[in-house]
Amino acid sequence: MEKLTICLLLFLFSLSLFSSIADGGSIGINYGRVANNLPSASKVIALLKSQGIERVKVYDTDPAVLKALSGSDIKVTVNLPNELLYNAAKRQSFAYSWVQKNVAAYYPSTQIESIAVGNEVFVDPHNMTRFLVPAMKNIHQALVKYNFHDKIKISSPVALSALQNSYPSSSGSFRSELVEPVIKPMLDFLRQTGSYLMVNCYPFFAYESNSDVIPLDYALFRENPGVVDAGNGLRYFSLFDAQIDAVFAALSALKYDDIKMAVTETGWPSKGDDTEIGASVDNAASYNGNLVRRILTGGGTPLRPREDLTVFLFALFNENIKPGPTSERNFGLFYPNEEKVYDIPLTREGLKHYVDRSPVAGNQRMQKGNAPGQTWCVASGEAGKNNLQAALDYACGEGGADCRSIQPGSTCYNPNTLEAHASFAFNSYYQKKGRAMGSCYFGGAAYIVHQQPKYGNCELPTEE
């Protein structure tokens, strides 16, 4: 009976781990409107539906947009702008009125799922930080009044500049001057209301400022040898994952490991000034296309491998009157005439035939004796025995890997270790999938290498 219980628990663990790999996270998009040439709201909603977008985030509560979203089945995040934080914090009556006018008037026909109270408040030059948490609490009380509080979550997008340390990821920490006045009270509020932290994350800006030390492939989710975090021993294959884990580490340092996260902004510009290194159509297509694949094929970050992410791309359109450098006006996936700036998938269905066709893609680092572009997928000994076993079971079962060679008496049974057997199974799955990006992940239990691995007398094959 005890054996049966253990087997059942392992089976359920395997299902829970790999349902995320099968189902993946969620992709949304930011619908900014700092432009004078955009299509009507009704045309925009039709565009979103034609692209299979199921989530959208807006930066206000424009009635035309919220009405156009009515009946669309698109989930919506609305925003209470920074300039209203003072009133929302100081007057409960203002919060009631705002929720009645901007939420209750449209919900549930317009599927408002969350309210972003402010946006990157800590870097706002008007210094609205002290009003943030009181405003969040008053807006929540207004939701309670309308009995919406169990259905609509409240949070506030924070920029990575809220971190005091972000490299390596394991050293992630929030700025000391923010911790007691606002970070902890906000996290307490998120915990009490069952909400999540909203984070804006832009690897482009880190790469642009440090292109001499950050490999472009690492920033664009292309295949690369990875970077090992000396603090936690985890290997990172993308700057995005490293940045997100820095926030998770900062949460952990304050003992808020239970707080989940949504990435409310991330993207890459298709055009920039001469000084904006890396801004190009090819790089934007690579970043956003590979990010979509990374999120929709499932699995979390190396630090939280079982936690899928909801990610909002920035942005739907190029916005022609945004201030700042050229890149600020060129983050859009679409031109205002609704033509694509570049073609990437935004749904699981679209991913089936997607290949990153940018010029540098596939230009893998060559090892002596290997043909160009050859890569293998191996198990990470740092993933832990339970994770590796569940991943091995999935690969040899539902995943369809050819695991005959690691059965007792077969050519690759020895060495009879979990890591060796898992590596063989992971590599079989990876090669069967055409070495597609995302097919060597297994919830963080695997990574790609560029030199043919050998376990005992067994070399991992290059292709199925």
Burial of 126 (0-12, 13-18, 19+ CB in 10 A): exposed
DSSP reduced 3-state for 435:
coil
Could you say which of 54, 208, 223, 265 is catalytic?
A: 265
Q: Is 319 a residue of the active site?
A: no
d(CA 450, CA 364): 8
Closest listed residue to residue 204, CA positions, set 356, 308, 328 = 328
- β-strand partners of 173: 165
Q: What is the DSSP code string of 297-347?
A: T----SSSTT---EEEES-SB--TT--SSGGGG---SB-TTS-BSS----S
**401 in Cβ contact with 446 (< 8 Å):** no
Closest listed residue to residue 442, CA positions, set 19, 11, 26, 18 = 18
Q: Is 113 a residue of the active site?
A: no
- Cβ neighbours of residue 203 closer than 8 Å, sequence gap 6 or more: 219, 238, 239, 240, 243, 266, 268, 287
d(CA 387, CA 381): 10
Active-site residues, by number, are 120, 265
